[in-house]
């Protein structure tokens, strides 16, 4: 059995929503975790939350992976990592439509500089979170990993396509380098303790934190972007996956790469629950499970939004032994538990 205590994992963007949940599971399994983040869309207090859950204080440095000088300086001082998980990216698809240069500069430069540093210091295991955005507006559902990648609907999606290609090229050029890329769908929910969850800065771009903030009185109303889509109830449909299920998949990927049981050194997997829920279904479920009414208003669609997308995750089920265990009820109840903890609501 691998001695996890001797294994050191770098999580870039580790004070962010998903990265912090991965850190918790890795620490609980005995790994050494080193977190870097520029704190643009996260909170330094997340480190205290991780420590409160795990009893372990993580190493941390404030590093911007899109700044080559900072990256070079960091890896020169710290490079004894067994694997890297890279969540250092701007991630709001809608926002990226009006900030295409910022998204390209941040998301593409950061992966380029990271890959260069990993090559220089012979760090050969990378887990990269891509996105369902790479599928654009798919011709059929559910989407599979072998489906054609067309032009993304948003600059955010395009940065993920570019990153995937860069990583694949490194894997082709260097047989010692291995990467698992996850195309995941809509991460939602919070840690079971209610001590860790999604905490966007400013107005949330994701549905469930907006619903939770509306329920908590932080927002006056939930803005629903369109109810005239070609779907069963007219509302857009997405595959919502619990953040803890997502985190588990990344830990399984770490264990696969470090266990040296990789058949090929570049693999892509979808992570989703395998069915879609409309915005209306999500809001109705939140109200029913948490016994609270949400004030909402229909507004115009957002640029780049598609009608419907959900995953075929059977490849991850088969090859990684991973499967989503939590459902929509778990997502909305844990999200509200976290929101109440955050706002001091009984």
Decide if 200 is inside a domain: no
Decide if 155 is inside a domain: yes
Helix (H, G, I), strand (E, B) or coil at 137: coil
Decide if 341 is inside a domain: no
Helix (H, G, I), strand (E, B) or coil at 117: helix
CATH number at residue 46: 3.40.50.720
Quote the CA–CA distance of 290 and 282 in Å, as a whole number: 12
pLDDT one-digit tens code per residue, 308-346: 999 999 999 999 999 999 999 999 999 999 999 999 998
Model pLDDT, residue 93: 77
What is the pLDDT confidence band of residue 3, given thresholds at 50, 70 and 90?
low
Decide if 118 is inside a domain: yes
Number of structural domains (the chain) is 1
Decide if 216 is inside a domain: no
Known catalytic residue at 310: no
pLDDT one-digit tens code per residue, 67-101: 999 999 999 999 999 999 999 988 877 788 888 89
Decide if 302 is inside a domain: no
Environment class of residue 138 by beta-carbon count within 10 Å: exposed (0-12), middle (13-18) or buried (19+)? middle
Environment class of residue 20 by beta-carbon count within 10 Å: exposed (0-12), middle (13-18) or buried (19+)? buried
What is the pLDDT confidence band of residue 191, given thresholds at 50, 70 and 90?
very high
Model pLDDT, residue 1: 39
Would you say 97 and 155 are in contact if contact means Cβ atoms under 8 Å apart? yes
Catalytic hit among 113, 156, 229, 277 = 156
DSSP letter string over 236-265? -EE-EEEHHHHHHHHHHHHHHHHTT--SSS
Decide if 337 is inside a domain: no
Decide if 165 is inside a domain: yes
For residue 39, the enclosing domain spans 4-189+240-272+312-325
pLDDT one-digit tens code per residue, 141-164: 999 999 988 788 888 999 999 999
What is the pLDDT confidence band of residue 181, given thresholds at 50, 70 and 90?
very high
């Amino acid at each position: 059995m691998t001695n996890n205590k001797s294994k050191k994992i770098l999580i870039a963007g580790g004070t962010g929503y998903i990265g912090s949940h991965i850190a918790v599971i890795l620490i609980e399994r005995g790994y050494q975790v080193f977190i870097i983040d520029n704190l643009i869309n996260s909170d330094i207090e997340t480190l205290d939350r991780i420590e409160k859950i795990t009893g372990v204080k993580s190493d941390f440095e404030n590093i911007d992976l899109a700044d080559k000088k900072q990256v070079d300086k960091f890896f020169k001082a710290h490079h004894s990592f067994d694997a890297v998980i890279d969540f250092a990216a701007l991630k709001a698809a809608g926002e990226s439509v009006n900030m295409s240069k910022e998204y390209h500069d941040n998301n593409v430069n950061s992966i380029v500089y990271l890959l260069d540093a990993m090559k220089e210091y012979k760090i050969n295991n990378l887990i990269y979170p891509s996105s369902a955005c790479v599928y654009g507006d798919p011709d059929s559902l559910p989407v599979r990993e072998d489906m054609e990648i067309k032009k993304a609907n948003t600059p955010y999606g395009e940065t993920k396509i570019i990153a995937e290609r860069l990583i694949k090229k490194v894997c082709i050029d260097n047989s010692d380098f291995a990467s698992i890329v996850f195309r995941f769908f809509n991460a939602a929910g919070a840690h079971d303790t209610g001590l860790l969850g999604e905490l966007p800065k400013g107005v949330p771009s994701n549905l469930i934190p907006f619903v939770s903030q509306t329920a908590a009185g932080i927002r006056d109303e939930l803005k629903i972007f369109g109810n005239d889509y070609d779907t069963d109830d007219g509302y857009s449909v997405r595959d919502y996956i619990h953040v803890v299920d997502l985190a588990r998949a990344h830990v399984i990927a770490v264990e696969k790469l470090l266990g040296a049981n990789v058949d090929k050194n570049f693999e892509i997997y979808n992570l989703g629950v395998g069915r879609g829920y409309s915005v209306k279904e999500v809001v109705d479920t939140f109200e029913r499970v948490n016994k609270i009414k949400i004030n909402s208003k229909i507004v115009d669609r957002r640029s780049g939004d598609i009608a419907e997308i959900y995953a075929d995750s059977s490849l991850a089920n088969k090859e990684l032994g991973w499967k989503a265990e939590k459902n929509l009820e778990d997502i909305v109840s844990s999200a509200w538990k976290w929101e109440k903890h955050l706002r001091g609501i009984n």
